[in-house]
A and B are shown apart, each in its own frame.
Chain A
């Protein structure tokens, strides 16, 4: 090849390189990006369609609201310690046990990056409530610890234990001390109930489908006692609150 040929080849190479860098490459790159984005968008659209299908199906499930209410009682969004006391005493009374004592201690376990434990004491109107705040990683539920002393018969106590296992509030008994004294059966129990603010689950297709197991889990729970509904309660106001009632 002569010099002129080499010059033509070099110029061609430069033109192709310039075309490639300034025109072909950006066009190809953006086309590839659009192609990938299209695929992702298609997938998102499929997900949305499936979600819509699932949600449309859920609208036909008339039990959903009912189950939601049961689930919010089983593990509520707030400690609802008052309702817990009502439920515990109602369970004991229904099992013919006499409630000698009930006390609560609230333990909060919240998800934080560092593990730390702080103890706080809150004085409220003559009674002291100890609030122990334990921040533990990967724990999002919070606990209300309770202790309870009941008396009655052993058979009734067994019925009470069965009631705690199917009660509308999730209760776990962690320790018990059973004694027979002066012809009376006495049980001292320690346990905890749970609560959790909000949900941890991500809004995706898997997490909005309601399985039969989930429905079954909440269906056979039994509620004890009537929660306080302040507007319907009556009999407030006493001229002398120190007088015997």
Chain B
């Protein structure tokens, strides 16, 4: 059977347009409804999941904060201890360990050398000025070399030496003494590590 559309072309065109408009309207309606549904989903997720979860967490934090309050004193003590430990470490790093430094200095003194005065100052250069007496220039240089090899001292400089006559009290005999002056600087403020010592 053959269907023949006998409607006039104008009506046919109108029907076609109406169908097209209906289709577009449907599509647009679906999109608008989709957007609306999306909004409703967002709202309900926010209201039923996110907000209650956040409120519950805030409540937990509040409770935990109240509990932590009982540790206030303890917390302050711990904080104070760490603060002082940090400050002490930074000061101790810059603090010269004099007992080691002086011990190293006296370990370097030759038998025939006597100290008259020793001035040490970590803020001035040279850090050390040493005046002493000895028997010969050889002893002074020996001392200087020994200090150069020490792990604590550097830049050892021989400044002066002069012979002075002196009388020993026991034998009432005139002997000549050699007065000298050395200047040197501090290489390490603290005790050097084992590795550094081996290198030295």
Contact = CB atoms under 8 A, between A and B. Distances in A.
Given A12-B28, A23-B39, A59-B74, A170 B20 contact: no
Interface string B22-51: 001100110110011011001101100011
A68 B82 CA distance: 10
Given A45-B64, A71-B85, A15 B32 contact: yes
B81 A67 contact: yes
- SS class, residues of chain B in contact with chain A: helix
Interface string A149-167: 0000000001001101100
Interface stretch (B3-11, B95-103, B143-151, B152-160): B95-103
B95 A59 contact: no
Given A1-B24, A2-B21, A161-B98, A71 B68 contact: no
Given A58-B74, A72-B80, A177-B118, A8 B91 contact: no
A194 B95 CA distance: 12
A191 B75 CA distance: 33
A200 interface: yes
A68 B87 contact: no
Contacts of A52: 64, 67-68, 71
Contact count band on B: 35 or more
Interface stretch (B52-60, B134-142, B175-183, B192-200): B52-60
Contacts of A15: 32
A30 B45 CA distance: 11
Given A8-B21, A64-B78, A75-B88, A19 B39 contact: yes
Q: Which bracket fits the contact residues of A? A: 35 or more
B89 interface: yes
Contacts of B58: 41
Contact of A217 (B88, B99, B119): B88
B82 A208 contact: yes
Interface stretch (A32-40, A103-111, A118-126): A32-40
Contacts of B83: 196, 199-201, 207
Interface centre among B29, B54, B85, B124 (most CB of A within 10 A): B85
A199 B85 CA distance: 11
B7 to A, nearest CB: 19
A218 B35 CA distance: 67
